[in-house]
């Protein structure tokens, strides 16, 4: 589901691609957003907002400093291993073992 927060991040990364001629894979980023939403599910922040907004905010900040798809996806998924039922193996299958290792280390 693409909501305001997800769309805002994707738009920012699209603008980054255009402005700096980068190759951030927006389809892969959108898939990571879906996973963050799915696995964080009904978790809430202290403010009452959906928890997955936090990793999207982190990814938005990372996007100012890194134009690498894997780094941005790691930011989106950084809390999934400790806070959800998503496994390192599933991340490896869906996004590659490099990202799975980065998420584990995050």
User: Which residues carry out catalysis?
Assistant: 82-83
Is residue 100 within 8 A of residue 77, CB to CB? The reply is no
**C-alpha dihedral sign at 73, 7, 45, 83:** negative
With both helix axes pointing from N to C terminus, report the angle between 53-65 and 4-20 in degrees, rounded to the nearest 10: 10
SS3 state at 12: helix
Q: How far apart are CA 34 and CA 41, in angstroms?
A: 10
Those residues whose C-beta lies under 8 Å from the C-beta of residue 82, and which sit 6 or more positions away, are none
């Amino acid at each position: 589901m693409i909501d305001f927060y997800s769309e805002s991040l994707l738009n920012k990364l699209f603008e980054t691609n255009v402005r700096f001629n980068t190759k951030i894979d927006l389809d892969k980023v959108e898939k990571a957003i879906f996973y963050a939403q799915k696995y964080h599910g009904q978790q809430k922040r202290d403010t009452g907002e959906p928890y997955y907004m936090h990793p999207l905010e982190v990814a938005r900040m990372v996007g100012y400093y890194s134009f690498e798809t894997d780094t941005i996806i790691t930011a989106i998924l950084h809390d999934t291993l400790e806070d959800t039922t998503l496994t390192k193996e599933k991340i490896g299958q869906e996004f590659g073992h490099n990202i799975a290792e980065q998420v584990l280390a995050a």
